[in-house]
Amino acid sequence: MGVVNVTPDSFSDGGEYLDAGDAIAHALTLVAEGADILDVGGESTRPGAEPVSGEEELRRVLPVLEGIAATDWISTPPQVSIDTSKAAVARAAIAAGASIVNDVSALRADPGMVGVVAESGVDCCLMHMLGEPRTMQREGGPQYKDVVDDVKAFLEERLSFAVSAGIPEQRIVLDPGIGFGKTLEHNLVLLARLDELTSLGCPLLVGTSRKSFLGRLIADGAGEREPVSPEERLPGTIATNVLAYERGASLFRVHDVGPVSAALTVAAATLGSWPTTRGMARTQTS
Distance CA 250, CA 241 (A): 10
Burial of 219 (0-12, 13-18, 19+ CB in 10 A): middle
Catalytic residue, from 46, 86, 91, 253: name it. 253
Q: Is 211 a catalytic residue?
A: yes
Q: Is 182 a catalytic residue?
A: no
Partners of 41 in beta bridges: 5, 83
Burial of 51 (0-12, 13-18, 19+ CB in 10 A): middle
How far is residue 251 from each of residues 28, 207, 263, 282, measured CA to CA in Å?
A: 19, 9, 14, 12
Distance CA 160, CA 154 (A): 10
Is the CB of residue 205 less than 8 Å from the CB of residue 174? yes
Catalytic residue, from 86, 171, 211, 233: name it. 211
- Local structure of 86: helix, strand or coil: coil
Active site residues: 211, 253
